Amino acid sequence: MTHQPYSRRRQRVLERLGDGVAVLATAPERLRNRDSHYPYRFDSYFWYLSGFPEPDAAIVLVGGQQPRSLLFCREKNEERETWDGFRYGPEAAAAAFGFDEAYPIASLDQKLPELIANRRALWHSLGHDTAWDQRIAAALNSVRGQSRGGTRTPGEIHDLRSLLDEMRLIKDAHEIDNMRRAADIASAGHSRAMRACRPGMAEYELEAELAYEFRRRGADGHAYTPIVAGGANACILHYVANDKLLASQSLVLIDAGCELAGYASDITRTFPVGGLFSAVQREVYEIVLSAQQAAIAAVCPGASFTDYHQAALRVLAQGLIDLKLISGSVDGAIESDAYKPWYMHRTGHWLGLDVHDAGDYKTGTADDDWVRLLPGMTLTVEPGLYFRPGNGIPEHLHGIGVRIEDDVLVTAEGCTVYTHAPKTIAEIEEVMRHD
C-alpha cells in the first residue's frame, strides 16, 4: 500500500488550518454481545486522512510554520497480537502511513495540552462522541490552567467535518479507482443473483449469492444491510428481513452494494423471479428505466443536484398518468405532489466512504440553492415506483415495486456510469435464461 493519497489529503488539511490544530479519532470497537465484537469498521473521516485500519487511534494535525502530522496508536503487544492479530505499533505505523511522528495512544491525553497550547484554533468533530468531547475539554482546561504563566488557549473551536466534507465531495483519482472496483464487484454480485434466482427460493438465498461474490472478489463485505425484497416487500423501502420465499410470478428487488478499501457501491436491480417479465411488470419497469435514463442524462458539470431528480420526476409523473393513476398534466402532478404515494424518495445521494456520503446538498436555504455538480462528485441515480396493495390501486399493479439504481461519476464532459449489472429487459431476460 502507498500512503501517498492519504498523506496528500493531510497536507491539504494542514494548508487550511493556518496555525490551528486538528484532532481526529477513529471509531471504537463495539460489543455485539458479552465479549464479542461487531466486525470492526474505522471512522470514515479518520480513514480518509490515514488509511490506518486499527482501532484505538487518533490523528493530530499541527498547522503553522512547521506543519506536522502525528499518529497516536496502540503499542506492539506480543500477547494481544497472539490472540487478536498484528498491530503496527507507533514506529512501524509512522513509516508505513507517512506520519511525521507517532506515539502510543495512551500518551495522547498527556500530550494534547502542549499540542494545542498557543494555537488560535482547534478543529474537532464536535458532538460526534461524548467521550472525545470530554477529552478535548479536559485538554483545553489544562491549557487554560496555565494562563498565568502566559500560555494562550485556543479561542476558536471549529467542526473539522465541515472542512473534510467539502474535500470528500470531490473524489481524487485514488478514490475513483476504489469506487470503480467496488462498483465492478457489486455489479458481478447482482449478475450472479439474477443467474441463481429460481422460483421458490428464499430471499436470503439471493442475499447469500451476493455475499459470496463480494467476498470471493476481495470486497470487505456488504456496504450496508442488503435489501432482497420479493413481490410486495419491494414496496417497503427499507425491507431487510430477507426471509420470505420468492413466488414465481413476482418481481424481486435487490438493493445491495459492497465495500472495498472503505468505499461503497450501491446498486438496485429489479427482475422477474421466473426470468420473464409479465406485460404489466414490463410496463412499470420501462417507465422506471426511462426515468433513470433521463436522470443520468441530466448529470453533468454545472447542473444542480436537484436537476436529475426533476428529470426523473417528469418521466415518472408521465408514467403514472399513462397508468391512469393520476390525471392532468405532468407539471400539475409535480406541483401538487400527486406522484408521492408511489414515488416518495429522492432520486439519489452522494456516494463514497459512506453509502450516504458526506457533503452538503445545498449551499443556502433558498429553494434553488442546490449544490452545482463538479467533476469528481459521485452520486447514485435511483428512481422507482412502488405500488403497495391497497390505496385504491388497480389490482393488476398490486405488489409491484421497481427501483433501478446505478453509481455515477461526474466528469468534465458529463458523467460515467460505473455500475454495469444487466438492466434492460432484454439483458435481464437473457442472463436469466436457463437453457
* Closest approach of Mn ion to the CB of residue 357, in Å: 10
CA angle 234–328–342, rounded 5-degree value: 10
What are φ and ψ of residue 409, in 5° steps? -105, 130
Which lies closer to Mn ion via its Cβ, residue 287 or residue 381? 381
Dihedral of CA atoms 386, 389, 392, 397 in degrees, nearest 10, equals 60
* Shortest separation between residue 269's beta carbon and ligand GLY, angstroms: 12
How far apart, in whole angstroms, are the C-alpha atoms of residue 95 and residue 173? 23
Active site residue 255: yes
> In terms of CB distance, is 178 or 265 closer to ligand GLY?
265
- Among the listed ranges 95-103, 145-153, 250-258, 358-366, the one in contact with Mn ion (CB under 5 A) is 250-258
Residue 250 beta carbon to ligand GLY: minimum distance, rounded to whole angstroms = 21
| Among Mn ion, ligand GLY, none, partner that 224 touches (CB below 5 to 8 angstroms by kind) | ligand GLY
CB 177 within 8 A of CB 141: no
Nearest-angstrom CA–CA distance, 29 and 110: 23
- Contacts with Mn ion in 48-107 (CB under 5 A)? none
Q: Please confirm, yes or no, whether 159 is among the known catalytic residues.
A: no
Cell numbers representing residue 59 in the block: 490523528
Q: Is 56 a catalytic residue?
A: no
Query: Following DSSP, what letter does each residue of 401-428 receive, concatenated?
Result: EEE-BEEEEE-SSSEEE---S--SHHHH
What's the min distance (Å) between Cβ of 70 and Mn ion?
36
- Respond yes or no: is residue 309 known to be catalytic: no
Active site residue 407: no
Selected range binding Mn ion among 63-71, 252-260, 327-335, 427-435, rule: CB under 5 A:
252-260
Terminal CA-CA length for the chain: 45
Active-site entry in 9, 124, 168, 403: 403
Contact flag: residue 184 with Mn ion (CB under 5 A): no
Binding mask 313-352 for ligand GLY (x = CB under 6 A): ------------------------------------x---
CB of 253 to ligand GLY, least distance (A): 11
Catalytic residue among 339, 349, 407, 418: 349
Q: Is 80 a catalytic residue?
A: no
Contacts (CB under 5 A) with Mn ion, residues 287-346: none
Least gap, CB of 383 to ligand GLY (angstroms)? 11
How far is 84 from 274, CA to CA, in rounded Å?
Answer: 46
Among 187, 378, 380, 419, binds Mn ion (CB under 5 A): 380
Other C-beta atoms within 10 Å of 282: how many?
Answer: 14
Indicate if 43 belongs to the active site.
no
Helix H or strand E segment including 205: helix 203-216
Please provide the DSSP assignment of 244-309 as one string: SBPPTTSEEEEEE-EEETTEE--EEEEEETTSS--HHHHHHHHHHHHHHHHHHHT-STTSBTTHHH
175 makes contact with Mn ion (CB under 5 A): no
What residue number has its CB nearest to ligand GLY?
255
Of the candidates 32, 25, 20, the one whose C-alpha atom is nearest the C-alpha of residue 62 is 20
Binding mask 404-423 for ligand GLY (x = CB under 6 A): -x------------------
Q: Residues 6 or more apart from 328 whose CB is under 8 A from it?
A: 321, 338
Query: By C-beta, is 204 or 224 nearer to ligand GLY?
Result: 224
Determine which one of 41, 120, 345, 388 is catalytic: 345
Among 207, 213, 255, 357, binds Mn ion (CB under 5 A): 255
Does the protein bind ligand GLY through residue 355 (CB under 6 A)?
Answer: yes
Catalytic residue flag (residue 398): no
Task: Reply yes or no on whether 35 is catalytic.
Answer: yes
Residue 154 DSSP code: P
- Beta-strand pair 263-264/156-159: unpaired
Site for ligand GLY in 372-391 (CB under 6 A): 382
H/E stretch holding 112: helix 108-116
Least Å distance between CB 60 and ligand GLY? Answer: 34
- Of the residues 266, 307, 406, 407, which one makes contact with ligand GLY according to CB under 6 A: 266
Q: Cβ(143)–Cβ(115) under 8 Å?
A: no
What count of residues does the chain have?
435
- The CA-based diameter of the chain, rounded to the nearest angstrom, is 85
What residues are labeled active site?
35, 238, 255, 266, 345, 349, 356, 382, 386, 403, 405
Residues at the interface with ligand GLY (CB under 6 A): 224, 255, 266, 349, 355, 382, 405
